[in-house]
Each structure stands twice: as structure tokens, then as C-alpha cells.
Amino acid sequence: MSEPARPEMPRATWTGPERRVKRYLVALGWQVVRAGRAFLPWHLLAVHPTEGVRLLWVHPPHGPGPDLSALVAFPCDVGYIREVWRYSGHAIRPIVARVNGGPAAPVSREV
């Protein structure tokens, strides 16, 4: 008797903004992977041998921004950097907002 056919799981695909962030960080020496379900609500996980770990939420070109309370409340190591990345128009460099657990709103800075 053969086993019943298992339904094939849909494969996760990279979105355009995620690919763009990955290319940018890889060029700077980071290893970047999709975060997957284990790191929800984060989109990407980036690791650098000397600069540590970044959890990245990539802002889509159209649509609402992230739920900052969920990003701040996500349990992670103190040394992890939590950021929201966004490209505006055809900009070469992204606008990055650092998300921290403090009461202050994230401050945008250019990488």
C-alpha cells in the first residue's frame, strides 16, 4: 500500500523590496535570509561577523506601515538591532528607522 500524496506547501518567494534590501546588505558584507514564521513579524534576518544581528521589517512601496508595538514587543536578545527599511521612489539608499524598546519614536537615518 502506498502513502497518500501529501499536498505541496507553497514556497515563500522574495518580494521586490526584500530582494533590494538583501542585495544592499550583501554588498556590505552581511549574510541575509528570510526570517520565516519563527521570527514573525520580521521579514529578514541579517548577520554580520563583527556588527551582530539585524531583524528587518521591509516596508512595501504601497500599503500601511508596520505595527510598531508588535515590533517593539518581539522578544529578542539585547544585542539585536531592530529596524524598519523603506525605499522611496527610485532612491539608491534606503531610509532606515531604528526600532527600540524605549518610549521615543524611531528616528529615520540614512544608511
Tens digits of pLDDT across the chain (111 residues): 566 665 554 555 667 888 889 999 999 999 999 987 777 888 999 999 998 999 999 887 777 777 888 888 888 888 888 988 888 777 778 888 888 743 333 334 444
Long-range pairs for 41-47 at CB < 8 Å and ≥24 separation? 41/66, 41/67, 41/70, 41/71, 41/74, 42/71, 42/74, 42/82, 43/18, 44/18
CATH class, 16-110 region: alpha beta
| pLDDT for position 106 | 38
Domain limits, the chain? 16-110
| pLDDT for position 49 | 92
pTM higher than 0.75: no
